[in-house]
Structure 1
Amino acid sequence: MAAKGNVRIIYAALFANGAIAVTKFIASFVTGSSAMFAEGVHSVVDTGNQGLLLLGIARSKRPATPEHPFGHGKDLYFWAFMVAIIIFGAGAGFAAYEGVEKLLHPAEVEGSWINYAVLGAAMVFETIALTMAFRAFQAAREGRGMLETVRQSKDPTLFTVLFEDAAAMLGLVIAFFGILATDLTGDPTWDAVATLAIAAVLALTAVFLAIETKGLLVGEAAEPGLVRRMREAVLAEPGVRSVNELLTMHLGPNEILVTLSADFDDTLKGGELEDVVTRLQEKVRTTFPDVKRLFIEAQGRAAHREQAAAAGDVVAPV
């Protein structure tokens, strides 16, 4: 699913989290619950993160320039990586600080019915947002497992919003039980413990997102099945004897850079070779519309093997 297809989901999550954050902070101020304060920080962080994702999508659409000849597609990956850093620093950091502070200086939690009302409303909104994000994720799975889909996805908005919403729902559940335990026992320590648990959820979510988006930012190859089909399409073109090397890299969710080294029929003359290359370019770009940059090199198989061996590279099979 393209990043542009997730804009509606991001906007829905942004407005929901913004409204929920305000009510959580009001409830925390009135009742003195640190778990509710941590949830308020959580919602503020999520709201800011959705804003960053929208910024990344907008900036990634900028056209290529002499300074950035391959465009700005990776802007989305950068801002998605920033989301993970902010979740860890601002979200988990503030929640952990608040939890430790309340453990060291316990304070009575009053008017818990306000917290329950706010948590109930927040759960309704988060359920809606999570359902929308999960449906978008399911549409992109195509029969694959959840982890495999995340690992192969080149659109960070697809899994970032899903895991943010899932973490938000888990945080609400933790806050609910922390406040409930405090009510039942009269011990505010449970509220502080719930706050630290929310910090742990945020930290784990941030680490997971950082790992996934870091790979995209550095540069990941296209999905193996797509690379295989592309290789087969090239080999099917008359005049192509073998494919020496086919390298791909995602410059954005729907923008792939391809470099192709092929061994062409030695009987082809200069003009005929140019015609074959032209047909190959049209064929690849028509069959695989996500390929936005395609560079084709004509090189004999033996020469390629020698060059690869000298460079210490592994020669891919035909």
Structure 2
Amino acid sequence: MASGSKKVIYAALIGNTVIAISKFIAAVFTGSSAMLSEGVHSLVDTGNQVLMLHGLSRASKSPDKKHPFGYGMELYFWAFVVAILIFSLGSGISFYEGIKHIQHPEPIKDPFWNYAVLAVSLAFEGWAWTVAFREFKRGIGKAGFWRSIRRSKDPTIFTVLFEDTAAMMGLIVAFVGIFLAGLLEIPELDGAASVVIGVILASVAVILAIECKGLLIGEGASAEVTEGIREIVSENKNIISLNELLTMHLGPNDILVNVSLDFADSLTSVEVEAAISTFEKRIKAKYSDVTRVFIEAQSLSAHKRAIVQTHSGTDLPETGTPSDN
């Protein structure tokens, strides 16, 4: 998935760099507020792609003493920063430019530049969007679009997809605003288009922030993974009950699993250890994204007492045989 994520980001980076330069040139020649807002939008997107690449690089660092579980969640942090930048810079500047040109309207000079740049930009954005959507579609299977966004644990792909979608919507708004401003001789419409672009960017930023927040504070594995683990437990006759199952994504393809199991009393310590090893191997064989499994052997009654004592703040006597592999 990392290679796929980089492919999507590089495509967006190339497209947005070319587009940003062309938009700023058009804004200088025509004085269009909507085109200037679009230029800022593309510039922010270019910076965002650089941040996402930095996040991927940081997330790939090996675990160390300070971060024994690795740096995978850094990718979620940088994706959240991207959402903030889209809101503060992209949306903020678009609102400012739009309101300024509504209050002090100026006729657009030589709109041909705007139309040419918008056409080129739409072509590049369409190409980058197609790359991002194809990569995203590979991972959603038969699931619906919005459900897949909610379930996705790779913010790089859906962030670029949202950015490119917002960019294409912004281009359409800019074209309509510039066209109507010239046709109706109402230059305020150019500024109004810039405000609408700001609304689009703010909406996308809020959606991205919500999605990244869930990942950043620790989001569990999908229902498919948790139910699969429960099924593996139910198939093992040596396990009496699953006391507790906790999962968390440490990265798009890095799942931590913590399990408390009640093994049959007739088993010896050697047999319990063997059962734990078998259980762990089956989980990792079925779910390649599960990289760490921590298993605690504990009776159901002891587990319930531990929960009660933990919530009441009393000290808990050691029970069971914890195992981490």
Task: Report the TM range for the smaller structure's normalisation.
Answer: over 0.9
Q: CA RMSD in A?
A: 1.3
- Report the equivalent of 2:197: 198
Structure 2 residue matching 1:20: 3-state secondary structure: helix
By how many angstroms is 1:312 displaced? 6.0
- Report the equivalent of 2:318: none
* Residue 70 of structure 1 pairs with residue 69 of structure 2: yes
User: Cα deviations across residues 116-147 of structure 1 (Å, max 9, x unaligned)?
Assistant: 00000111111111111122222222211111
Maintained 8 Å contact 1:244/1:301:
yes
Residues in 2 aligned to 1:175 and 1:213: alpha-carbon distance in whole angstroms:
29
Higher mean Cα deviation, 262-271 or 32-41?
262-271
Residues in 1 aligned to 2:234 and 2:21: alpha-carbon distance in whole angstroms:
59
User: Aligned in 2, Cα 1:4/1:234: closer, same or farther, shift over 3 Å?
Assistant: farther
| 1:1-318 mapped onto 2 (5 Å cutoff) | 2-311=1-310
Maintained 8 Å contact 2:8/2:157:
no
By how many angstroms is 1:303 displaced? 2.0
Residues in 2 aligned to 1:89 and 1:118: alpha-carbon distance in whole angstroms:
25
Matched-pair identity in %: 48
Structure 2 residue matching 1:303: 3-state secondary structure: helix
User: Cα deviations across residues 239-259 of structure 1 (Å, max 9, x unaligned)?
Assistant: 111111111000000000110
Residues in 1 aligned to 2:288 and 2:193: alpha-carbon distance in whole angstroms:
49
Residues in 1 aligned to 2:273 and 2:225: alpha-carbon distance in whole angstroms:
25
- Report the equivalent of 1:316: none
Letter in 2 for 1:204: S
User: Cα deviations across residues 92-136 of structure 1 (Å, max 9, x unaligned)?
Assistant: 011111111111211121100110000001111111111111222
Residues in 2 aligned to 1:169 and 1:3: alpha-carbon distance in whole angstroms:
25
Residues in 2 aligned to 1:75 and 1:4: alpha-carbon distance in whole angstroms:
17
Maintained 8 Å contact 1:3/1:158:
no
Residues in 2 aligned to 1:103 and 1:288: alpha-carbon distance in whole angstroms:
56
Higher mean Cα deviation, 160-169 or 135-144?
135-144
Q: Under a length normalisation based on structure 2, what TM-score does the superposition of the two structures give?
A: 0.93
Maintained 8 Å contact 1:222/1:248:
yes
Maintained 8 Å contact 1:3/1:157:
no
Structure 2 residue matching 1:178: 3-state secondary structure: helix
User: Cα deviations across residues 201-235 of structure 1 (Å, max 9, x unaligned)?
Assistant: 00000000000000000010000011100111133
Residues in 2 aligned to 1:181 and 1:312: alpha-carbon distance in whole angstroms:
64
